[in-house]
Every structure is written in structure tokens, then in C-alpha cells.
Structure 1
């Protein structure tokens, strides 16, 4: 498992690992141009805008998560060596998050400054994004496994992931801006469910693609 996770992290940083973080910051820069210089308005929409940017950034590397290993026979080799498909999927979730999650949190701190987010909200935003990004990574791996080998898999994966991410997006944005709403607990529950369930969904999809 450790070797698979390390391999996923190396693959993530061997390509344009900065791309999700750069896209995240690009959204943070463009939002003020779209809504105007009103600092109060920017502060009100900052959490939601950053969460939408995080969701979209999680989609960018989705085509490299499962399909290259399926096409090259790496998944079959791991299966022959006794590694369960669910273990492979769990390792890919961990590796995917390690390759984009920390960069996303650093970018979120910069983006929050650009969007005039009140400083007292920044710790809540980073905590909510840290929890939510785990759920996003799990969903990305599960959807990548479900669409592996299909024509236009990247576009199809986006169409599948966006509606599934709506609960996480709602609770995460609420937790980032309202500490007394209890949204952080709901977000944590959704993220935990996704992290626990994604390896089984992805493992079943990998087995189906093998047969």
C-alpha cells in the first residue's frame, strides 16, 4: 500500500501538479473582476467561490487516476500479486489527495486574501477544505474507475462528479462561514462516507473492467 501511495504521489508531481492550485488561484483572481470591488460582497461570497474552485480543481487530474494503469496492465499486475482492488483504490485516494490537497490549502489561504475573506474565517475555511478535499479525492477516484475505458471519459466523469459533490459543497461552504450551524459535522460525515465507500465502488468498477 505504501509503495502504491508513493507511486501515485510521484505521478501527481511528475506532471503539472501545480495546475489545480493555479486554477484555484485563477478563479480567486477572476471573481473580483466579475462581481466588482465591493469588499463586503466579496467577503460574503468568498467561501462559496473558493469551494467551487476546489471542486473544479479536483476534476483536472481525473483522467490520469485509473485509466492509464488499466490500459497499461498495472492494475492486473497488482491483482496477480495479491493486492485487492479495494486496496488499490484506497491507495489511489490517499495518493491523489497528497498530490493536490496540501497545495490546495496553501492556495486557499492566498485566495482568501484576494477575496477579502475576514481573517477570523480563514481557519474555519482551511479546516472545512481540508476535510472536504478528502471527500473530493475519494469521489474523483471512484468516478475515474467507473468511467475508465469509456469514450470521452473526462467529460463523463465531470458530469457524474458534479451532482454527487453538491452535499459536500453545501455543507463545506456553510461550515467555512458559519461556525454555529453544525455544518462542519455534516460535512465531516459526508466526507467520511465518501472516503469509506469510494474504495469499494472503485474496486468493483476495476473488477468489472477486468472481466
Structure 2
């Protein structure tokens, strides 16, 4: 398990591995939105929670097709499917590796970009907390979508169409946590729902993804 995690992290940090792609996209969203909307601080503060979460979601989406595609191309996925290591555990570990190089990195960068969008200061802790709680669900759901489309030529568009509707609840509750936190309102309900989505996804989707991979490898 640890060897698989280290291998995926090394592949992500190599040239063309996709590590910097998501961060660059997240940065571009935070820079371009104020230019398009205008410098009005009140407007930026109102839309900042949604914009930051949409940027994080799309940044995670950019590298989803790499979760299993490279392993499928070089035959490593067949070895993982027949290895003593349960395929469900391999799926979970690859989703965890994806979260480390995308979700965690975006979480660390998010307070800096929140400054560009004029997010109120009291919303910063809630932004970081919502991303820590919610972005693992993006990686696990994305791994499930990648498993469904593994082996499909140019399956990136199909993967996006499959995954984006599943991302909507995480986006809604994540942005709501930040919005309420920035306004000083209670955040317990949306944060609990966000945590429930992440927990449920982590518990169920590795099994569904492993089953999809076995079907696609037949």
C-alpha cells in the first residue's frame, strides 16, 4: 500500500504529471474572476465562497483521468487486479494520492487566493476546514468515475459528464459552510452534511470503483 502511494506521488510530481496543473488553474480562476466581475469589494466578497469552491472542484477534475489511465496503458492495472492486495485498497490508496497532490495542495493555497477575492477574514478558517473535509470526496468520487471510463479512448469528456453531477452536493455544502462562516452564522448543518458525503463516499465508492475496473479489464 505504501509503495503504491509513493509510486503515484512520484508520477504526479514528474514533468507532465499534473501536480502543477490544478494549482495553476485554481490560481487563474482567482485572478481572472476579479478582472471580469470588477474591483467592487462587496460583490467579490459575496461570490468568493462559490468561486473558490468551483475553482477547487474544476482543478480536481483536471487530473482525474490520470488516476487509472497510465496504469491501464502500461499493464500495471492488470497486475493490481490480480495482486494479493485487495483492489478496493488500491483504489482507496490511489484516491488518497490524488487528494494529496490536488485537494491538500489547493487547501494550502486557498487562503492566499481568498485575499484576491476579498473574502472576509472570519471566513478563512471555514474555507480551509470546508476544503479539508470536502475535497477527499472529490477525489474518491473522481476515482469512481475514472474507474468507469478506464480503457475508453478520449474518455476525459465522458468522465467529466459522469462526475460533475455527483460533485454538486459537495459544492453546495462546501460553499455554504464558507458563506455562513464569513457571515458569522452557524455552520454546523452544512459542515455535517459535507462530512457525511465524504465519509459515505470513502466507505462505499472504492468497492464500486474496484467492481467497475474488474468489468473493464475482462
Q: Please, what TM-score do these two structures have when normalized by structure 2?
A: 0.93
1:62 Cα deviation from its structure 2 partner: 1.4
Spell out the pairing of 1:1-211 with structure 2 (5 A cutoff): 1-14=1-14, 15-179=17-181, 180-181=186-187, 182-211=189-218
1:13 Cα deviation from its structure 2 partner: 1.2
- Report the number of matched residues: 211
Matches of 2:24 and 2:116 in 1, distance apart? 14
Higher relative contact order (CA 8 A, sep 6+): 1
1:78 Cα deviation from its structure 2 partner: 2.4
Q: Decide whether the 8 Å contact of 2:142 with 2:163 is kept in 1.
A: yes
Matches of 2:77 and 2:86 in 1, distance apart? 10
1:106 Cα deviation from its structure 2 partner: 2.3
Structure 2 gaps of 5+ residues are none
Matches of 1:197 and 1:98 in 2, distance apart? 20
Matches of 2:24 and 2:109 in 1, distance apart? 8
Deviations 1:49-102 (A, max 9, x none): 000001100111112111221222112212333122111101111111111122
Q: Decide whether the 8 Å contact of 2:18 with 2:63 is kept in 1.
A: no
Matches of 2:96 and 2:18 in 1, distance apart? 18
1:32 Cα deviation from its structure 2 partner: 0.7
Q: Which runs of 4+ in 1 moved over 4 A?
A: none
Structure 1 gaps of 5+ residues are none
Q: Decide whether the 8 Å contact of 1:5 with 1:95 is kept in 2.
A: yes
Matches of 1:110 and 1:104 in 2, distance apart? 10
